[in-house]
Protein backbone atom coordinates (compact mmCIF):
# COMPACT_ATOMS: atom_id res chain seq x y z
CA UNK A 1 0.00 0.00 0.00
CA UNK A 2 1.07 3.58 -0.53
CA UNK A 3 2.45 5.56 2.39
CA UNK A 4 -0.50 7.97 2.42
CA UNK A 5 -2.94 5.02 2.54
CA UNK A 6 -1.55 3.52 5.75
CA UNK A 7 -4.56 3.02 8.08
CA UNK A 8 -4.89 5.23 11.13
CA UNK A 9 -7.70 3.51 13.06
CA UNK A 10 -6.92 4.39 16.67
CA UNK A 11 -7.65 1.71 19.22
CA UNK A 12 -5.01 -0.30 21.07
CA UNK A 13 -2.09 2.07 20.63
CA UNK A 14 -3.72 5.24 21.95
CA UNK A 15 -1.45 8.09 20.95
CA UNK A 16 1.45 5.74 20.21
CA UNK A 17 2.18 4.44 16.73
CA UNK A 18 3.36 1.13 15.33
CA UNK A 19 5.62 0.77 12.32
CA UNK A 20 4.60 -0.85 9.07
CA UNK A 21 6.01 -0.97 5.56
CA UNK A 22 4.52 1.12 2.78
CA UNK A 23 5.58 2.33 -0.65
CA UNK A 24 6.61 5.98 -1.09
CA UNK A 25 6.11 8.13 -4.20
CA UNK A 26 9.38 6.79 -5.66
CA UNK A 27 8.23 3.15 -5.38
CA UNK A 28 10.59 2.39 -2.49
CA UNK A 29 9.59 0.53 0.66
CA UNK A 30 9.65 2.83 3.68
CA UNK A 31 8.62 2.49 7.30
CA UNK A 32 5.41 4.38 7.95
CA UNK A 33 3.72 5.04 11.30
CA UNK A 34 0.23 3.66 11.86
CA UNK A 35 -2.30 4.06 14.65
CA UNK A 36 -3.55 0.59 13.72
CA UNK A 37 -6.21 -0.78 11.44
CA UNK A 38 -9.43 -2.57 12.25
CA UNK A 39 -8.38 -6.22 11.57
CA UNK A 40 -5.22 -5.92 13.69
CA UNK A 41 -7.10 -3.99 16.37
CA UNK A 42 -9.69 -6.78 16.54
CA UNK A 43 -6.99 -9.47 16.82
CA UNK A 44 -5.13 -7.47 19.48
CA UNK A 45 -8.32 -7.00 21.53
CA UNK A 46 -8.95 -10.76 21.42
CA UNK A 47 -5.38 -11.55 22.46
CA UNK A 48 -5.53 -9.08 25.36
CA UNK A 49 -8.84 -10.61 26.50
CA UNK A 50 -7.08 -13.98 26.82
CA UNK A 51 -4.18 -12.35 28.67
CA UNK A 52 -6.67 -10.54 30.93
CA UNK A 53 -8.25 -13.91 31.87
CA UNK A 54 -4.80 -15.37 32.61
CA UNK A 55 -3.88 -12.35 34.75
CA UNK A 56 -7.13 -12.55 36.74
CA UNK A 57 -6.71 -16.29 37.33
CA UNK A 58 -3.10 -15.76 38.40
CA UNK A 59 -4.12 -12.99 40.82
CA UNK A 60 -6.78 -15.29 42.31
CA UNK A 61 -4.19 -18.06 42.74
CA UNK A 62 -1.71 -15.69 44.38
CA UNK A 63 -4.30 -14.28 46.79
CA UNK A 64 -5.39 -17.87 47.62
CA UNK A 65 -1.79 -18.85 48.39
CA UNK A 66 -1.56 -21.24 45.43
CA UNK A 67 1.07 -19.25 43.51
CA UNK A 68 3.84 -16.76 44.23
CA UNK A 69 4.09 -13.17 42.97
CA UNK A 70 6.61 -14.38 40.38
CA UNK A 71 3.69 -16.02 38.53
CA UNK A 72 2.12 -12.60 37.94
CA UNK A 73 5.33 -11.19 36.50
CA UNK A 74 5.56 -14.19 34.19
CA UNK A 75 1.98 -13.85 32.95
CA UNK A 76 2.31 -10.09 32.51
CA UNK A 77 5.39 -10.67 30.35
CA UNK A 78 3.88 -13.68 28.53
CA UNK A 79 6.60 -16.07 29.68
CA UNK A 80 6.67 -19.71 30.69
CA UNK A 81 9.16 -21.29 33.13
CA UNK A 82 11.46 -22.41 30.31
CA UNK A 83 11.73 -18.93 28.81
CA UNK A 84 12.23 -17.27 32.19
CA UNK A 85 14.89 -19.84 32.98
CA UNK A 86 16.77 -19.18 29.75
CA UNK A 87 16.55 -15.39 30.12
CA UNK A 88 17.67 -15.30 33.78
CA UNK A 89 20.11 -18.21 33.86
CA UNK A 90 18.15 -19.74 36.76
CA UNK A 91 17.47 -23.44 36.29
CA UNK A 92 13.99 -24.42 35.09
CA UNK A 93 13.42 -26.56 38.19
CA UNK A 94 14.28 -23.60 40.44
CA UNK A 95 11.98 -21.28 38.46
CA UNK A 96 9.12 -23.75 38.93
CA UNK A 97 9.95 -23.92 42.63
CA UNK A 98 9.88 -20.10 42.87
CA UNK A 99 6.39 -20.09 41.34
CA UNK A 100 5.18 -21.75 44.56
CA UNK A 101 4.82 -19.65 47.69
CA UNK A 102 7.18 -21.82 49.72
CA UNK A 103 9.91 -21.71 47.06
CA UNK A 104 9.46 -17.96 46.54
CA UNK A 105 9.89 -17.25 50.26
CA UNK A 106 13.05 -19.38 50.37
CA UNK A 107 14.48 -17.87 47.16
CA UNK A 108 18.06 -16.62 47.43
CA UNK A 109 18.78 -12.91 47.14
CA UNK A 110 20.92 -13.66 44.06
CA UNK A 111 17.97 -15.29 42.28
CA UNK A 112 15.65 -12.45 43.34
CA UNK A 113 18.12 -9.95 41.88
CA UNK A 114 18.30 -11.89 38.60
CA UNK A 115 14.50 -11.82 38.29
CA UNK A 116 14.32 -8.14 39.23
CA UNK A 117 17.05 -7.24 36.76
CA UNK A 118 15.31 -9.17 34.00
CA UNK A 119 11.90 -7.56 34.71
CA UNK A 120 13.63 -4.17 35.19
CA UNK A 121 12.09 -3.61 38.61
CA UNK A 122 13.54 -3.14 42.10
CA UNK A 123 13.91 -6.40 44.06
CA UNK A 124 11.32 -5.18 46.60
CA UNK A 125 8.68 -4.83 43.86
CA UNK A 126 9.07 -8.49 42.91
CA UNK A 127 6.95 -9.50 45.94
CA UNK A 128 4.26 -6.82 45.56
CA UNK A 129 0.92 -8.08 44.26
CA UNK A 130 -1.62 -5.42 43.25
CA UNK A 131 -5.36 -6.00 43.67
CA UNK A 132 -5.92 -5.14 40.01
CA UNK A 133 -3.64 -4.91 36.99
CA UNK A 134 -4.09 -2.45 34.15
CA UNK A 135 -3.36 -3.87 30.71
CA UNK A 136 -2.88 -2.08 27.37
CA UNK A 137 -6.12 -0.82 25.88
CA UNK A 138 -7.81 -0.45 29.25
CA UNK A 139 -8.74 2.84 30.82
CA UNK A 140 -8.52 3.64 34.50
CA UNK A 141 -11.75 3.89 36.46
Domains and CATH numbers, the chain: 8-39 (no CATH), 67-127 (1.10.260)
pLDDT in tens, 57-92: 999 999 999 999 999 999 999 999 999 999 999 999
Report the pLDDT value the prediction gives residue 1, as an integer from 0 to 100.
61
pLDDT in tens, 88-109: 999 999 999 999 999 999 999 9
User: DSSP label at 13?
Assistant: T
Helices (H), the chain: 38-63, 69-76, 81-88, 92-98, 101-105, 109-119
Report the pLDDT value the prediction gives residue 140, as an integer from 0 to 100.
46
Report the pLDDT value the prediction gives residue 110, as an integer from 0 to 100.
97
Amino acid sequence: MKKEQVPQHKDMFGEQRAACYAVDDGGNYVIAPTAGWEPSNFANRQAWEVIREEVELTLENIHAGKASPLALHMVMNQLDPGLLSSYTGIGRFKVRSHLKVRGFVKMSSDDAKKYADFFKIPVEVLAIVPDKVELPGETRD
